[in-house]
Amino acid sequence: RTHPAPVDKGPIGANGLAEQRDFQYPTAWFEDKEEKHVTTAKVQGALFDRARTHSPFDVAAWHGNYCPFKYDLARFRAMNTVTVDHADPSIFTVLTLPSAEPGIPSVDFVCFPPRWMCAEQTFRPPYFHRNCMAEFMGLIDGRYDAKVGFQPGGCSLHNVGTPHGPDSATFHAAIQTDTFAPAKVGGMAFMFESRLPLRLSAIAADEGSGLFDTEYCQCWDGLPRAQVPRAADQ
């Protein structure tokens, strides 16, 4: 397959995650206008303009089943643990593009919608980890539950093999939370996860642009050393 599609729900069954009925497709339409138009395409980070003497939407018909669509992330049916532990973020996958290696997608598109957290005796924020996938995530609105001060419109990139997790303030708040009481986390965040390393554009990598957070790593200052629990008989 060469394009992303909704995931196979497997044991979830018929309902949940991104429902096929919530993907919206346009009605066939065209216009026949002889007037100047400019079509702009982006290739490898550069923009290219093409001047035309007619409308680019003068196609009278098409044949096939590959067409544009839109999807409202607010329609996503989130699944979550209702006992203990933290679910892998793949449970929030909207679209996936498999690779030739089973279980390792070329890219996943994931959303984190407002949802209830009710896992007991569990560290509820995302756990600390690093993996074989590059993670580019951003916040659309509301509050992100793993980093204090992360504003809507902001984004972060943790490339392949980069350790990351909740900031120090979130960690200390989470370990003091009464996990026998459910809590709702608000906001809408998204993530692109890929087995391929991602490269920053020149603007995003420019520390003097005002867009680059040069003190990002300091969010983990104050985290205690991990304590390995001792067995009851030791």
Q: Are strands 107-112 and 183-185 parallel, antiparallel or unpaired?
A: unpaired
C-alpha–C-alpha distance, residues 39 and 48, integer Å: 8
From the list 158, 172, 207, 215, the catalytic residue is 158
- Write out the two tokens for 56: 């680019």
37 is known as an active-site residue: no
- Write out the two tokens for 130: 């690093």
Q: Which helix (DSSP H) or strand (DSSP E) does residue 171 occupy?
A: helix 168-175
Contacts made by residues 58-66, CB under 8 angstroms, sequence distance 24+? 58/30, 58/31, 58/32, 58/33, 59/30, 60/30, 61/28, 61/30, 62/28, 66/3
From the list 19, 37, 86, 120, the catalytic residue is 86
From the list 34, 35, 120, 129, the catalytic residue is 129
164 is known as an active-site residue: yes
From the list 34, 135, 193, 207, the catalytic residue is 135
63 is known as an active-site residue: no
86 is known as an active-site residue: yes
From the list 34, 54, 101, 164, the catalytic residue is 164
Active site residues: 86, 129, 135, 158, 164
